[in-house]
Structure formats: structure tokens, C-alpha cells
Amino acid sequence: MKSFILSRIAAIGYALRGWQYVLKTQRNAWIHSLIAALVVILGLWLKIGLHDWAILVLTIAVVFTAEFINTSIEAVVDLASPKKHPLAKVGKDVGAGAVLIAALAGVLIGLLILGPPLWAKITMLTTVP
């Protein structure tokens, strides 16, 4: 049992090092982080419901997961093919495309969830006599 617990602690350490690597090396991960923080702040300000929070948290997780997987694909491709190769480019481009799809879906989901209450709040704030 002790071995199992120690191996799980080590696994968490590896995952945190991977997370740290992505944040240190991937400019887009910082953009995702900034937008995620803004979404959380906006969600708190708008007092959205639990169901909406669940969808937003899952959406944020999907975008970060796509970014992390893309970063790992890029690292493995660079290791396997240090020289430029058309298939290496395809692998990297498809990984980047997956991040783009996740990010665009995230924007749409954010607008669908946060847009109406934000519009209502802005309207209320601007029509107060």
C-alpha cells in the first residue's frame, strides 16, 4: 500500500512538471489561462448557476487538454523527426487544429452561457435613472 501511495505522489509530481513545462514554453497556454481566469471572474460576477459552471469548467478543461496534448505531440514529433519532414508538419498542424477547434468551441460556449446574463447586467446598469 505504501508503494502504491508513493507511486501516486510521484505521478502527480510528473503531471505538475508537465503542466509547468506547458506554461513555460507555450505562449497560447498563457492566453488560455488569461481567458479562463476572465471567464471565472465574469461567472462569479454574474452569479451563474451550477449547471453553467459545470459546462464552463469542462470547456476550460477541454481547451487545456487539447493544448497539453498538442504540446506533447510537438515534442514527440521533434524527437522522432529532428529534420523537417512533410508528415511531421502534418502531425503538428493537426494537433494545432485540435486546439483551435477546442478554443473556438470554448468561445461559443462562453458566449452562450455568459452572453445573456452579461447583456442583462449591462442593460440594467445602463438604464438605471
Cell matching residue 88: 511531421
Alpha helices in 1-129 (DSSP H): 2-25, 27-46, 50-80, 86-126
Q: Please list the active-site residues.
A: 67
Q: Which long-range contacts (CB under 8 A, 24 or more apart) does 28-37 make?
A: 28/67, 28/99, 29/64, 29/67, 29/71, 32/60, 32/63, 32/64, 32/67, 32/103, 35/106, 36/60, 36/63, 36/64
